[in-house]
Structure 1
Amino acid sequence: MTKMPATNEQQNIAKAFLAARAKKTPLTLYPGAMPETMGEAYAIQDAAIGFDGRMVGGWKVGRIPAELVGRYGDNRLAGPIFSDEIFDGGAGERPVMPVYTDGFAAAEAEVLLCLGDVGTRDYDIDSVRDCITDARTGIEIASSPYPAINRHGPAVTASDYGNNKGLILGPSIPDWRTADLIRMPVEFFIDDTPVGAATMETMLDGPFGSALFLIRTLRARGIAIHAGTWVSTGAITGIHEIRPGQRGDALFDGKIRVGCTITG
């Protein structure tokens, strides 16, 4: 992927999404020509990050459906998670997470990896663990003022921050370097009702593959990777739509719990 500078129209799309997020008003239509490639999507995303001005504390990684991989040239997408929208829920805390009430809103159980000094070395699926300092359970909040954000393909999803609105850091996973993460059972509940259960066997090459993808993608975009950057590695049990007033809880390995309350 070659980094593309944003056109005037792409900058206007970025500004429209920023304005809708700031004013908390829904976008009934996509604010311009929909991006057709991941390069175009990341040009919009990069412009929005620049206009936004907040510090990026992490990145969400999402899966591109297998039937679209050939068209978009990759099997994952990325979006920024801003530092002021990352909350610690590791000590039994239940952060209150805002979403766009008239837009799209969902919660996802994810494994979160903290990157240390990535440097310039090349990594593979095994060696990428060398630059990871922590692995935690967590929940990604996916929300956009555009309700149809996920209905028009991964480029549209990526163009609005990858449909991210925050991250909850759950407890660390004991012995994560040697644990069989891929087969760890994960469940998700909304208001104590089970809505999804799976293992990371459904996640391509798992959470470390997501970290590898992100390092490669950010380097191609010319984005520095700072020590302490979080990687939300992808939905395990599914993308669970959620509404203000509801509670979301993820249970990892039958014993590690992280939760949040949703507000509008």
Structure 2
Amino acid sequence: MATDFQAAANALLRARRTRVPLDALPAAARPTSIDDVQAIQELVAAELGPIVAWKVGAATPSAEPGGAPIHAATLRHGSEPFRATDFNLIGVEGEIGFTLGSDLPSRDTPYTREEILEALATMHPMIELVDSRFRAIGSDKLSHAADQGSHGALVVGPALADWRHIDPIAMPVRLTLNGKVALEKIGGNSAGEPIRLIQWLANTGSRPYGGLKAGMVITTGSCTGMPMVEPGVRVRVEFEGVGAVETAVL
């Protein structure tokens, strides 16, 4: 039986609107493949407004990446706090991201690594706040992937234009929660280096949406793991040589 994509999208959108989390998607609406995930994401994205950013990641340096579009309502530049009542769950991830300086429209010829590097204008420290339209982040990974990859909000830190010399795999990162260091390490992104992720996004992940546009922000996966936190948290992430970004959920 084919997955009911529209039923899945309707359930996820209703959970967003009512703030009543789901235990699970209806049985006939649960994705069984990455193609199902992408079809559900597209239907949800069409209701959430213009795409201004993307998240992309992978389980290992050789695994097939996955991603999700991000919309203006959950993208923030600056440290203005979020309202805790807008989240069902609050997870915190420190990430490295980029802003595109030029368009990468969908095309038949795959983009090369060099073309991706040329299109990236600035590097940024970022914080992704993880949330879910489900009651808990459980074992049904495809359903959670269809739910915008459990995206809650993305906070973009200061831009670094001179970034080509930086190796994200070897970059020290510090995560601070309420003024106390919660994690300090080198590297930590399970996907490895980020450029292959953006190359996949340009060639595959963004194709149904017409590709990528100048000014879009792309975040490339957690370097800090995902500690779950309670309302009232103040978060700071610092990447040595790149900069720091802060936010709060109050």
- Please give the TM-score of this superposition, normalised by the length of structure 1: 0.82
85, 110, 116: which one aligns with 2:95: 110
Aligned to 2:64: 75
What SS class does the counterpart of residue 96 from structure 1 fall into? Answer: coil
1:149 counterpart = 2:137: yes
Matches within 5 A, 1:37-48: 37-48=33-44
Q: Is the 8 A contact 2:189 2:222 kept in 1?
A: no
1:119-130 matches, within 5 Å, as: 119=105, 120=107, 122-130=110-118
Change (3 A) 1:219 1:180: closer
In structure 2, the residue matched to 1:4 is none
- How far 1:194 sits from its partner (Å)? 2.5
Cα offset, 1:238, TM superposition = 0.8
Deviations 1:16-58 (A, max 9, x none): 11111122122123344421211011111111112x1411111
Shift of residue 243, structure 1, vs aligned partner: 2.1
Specify the SS of the correspondent of 2:131. strand
Conserved 8 A contact 1:136-1:173: yes
Q: 2:9 — aligned with what?
A: 14
Task: Report the AA paired with residue 156 of structure 1.
Answer: S
The structure 1 residue matched to 2:49, chosen from 40, 54, 63, is 54
Q: Aligned pair 1:35/2:24, yes or no? A: no
CA distance in structure 2 between the partners assigned to 1:98 and 1:78 by the alignment? 25
Identical aligned residues as a percent:
24
Query: Which residue pairs with 1:133 in the alignment?
Result: 121
**Aligned 8 A contact 1:59 1:79 in 2:** yes
The one of 244, 250, 253 aligned to 2:240:
253
Are positions 1:161 and 2:148 aligned together? Answer: yes
Distance 1:102 1:113, change over 3 A: closer
Deviations 1:182-237 (A, max 9, x none): 31111112212323333336443412122112112235435332211111111011
Structure 1 residue 126: Cα displacement: 4.0
Cα distance in 1, alignment partners of residues 137 and 85 from structure 2: 12
Shift in alpha-carbon separation, 1:100–1:164, aligned structure 2, 3 A: farther
Contact 1:111 1:135 in 2 (8 A): yes
Tell me which moved more, 176-185 or 235-244.
176-185
CA change 1:15–1:262 in 2 (3 A) is: same
Letter of the structure 2 residue corresponding to residue 41 of structure 1 = V
Asked if structure 1 preserves the Cα contact closer than 8 Å seen for 2:173 and 2:240, the reply is: yes
For structure 1, the residue ranges without an aligned partner over 5 or more in a row are: 1-6
Match of 2:21 in 1: 26
Root mean square deviation of aligned Cα: 2.5
Distance 1:49 1:201 in 2: 29
1:59 Cα deviation from its structure 2 partner = 0.8
Contact kept, 8 Å, 2:3 with 2:31, in 1: the verdict is no
Alpha-carbon distance change, 219 to 25 in structure 1, aligned in 2, over 3 angstroms: closer
Q: Measured at CA, do residues 149 and 30 of structure 1 come closer, stay the same or move farther in structure 2, by a change above 3 Å?
A: farther
Q: CA deviation at 1:139?
A: 0.6
Residues 164 and 102 (structure 1 numbering): CA distance in 2 closer, same or farther, change over 3 Å? closer
Moved more, 246-255 or 96-105: 96-105
Match of 1:239 in 2: 226
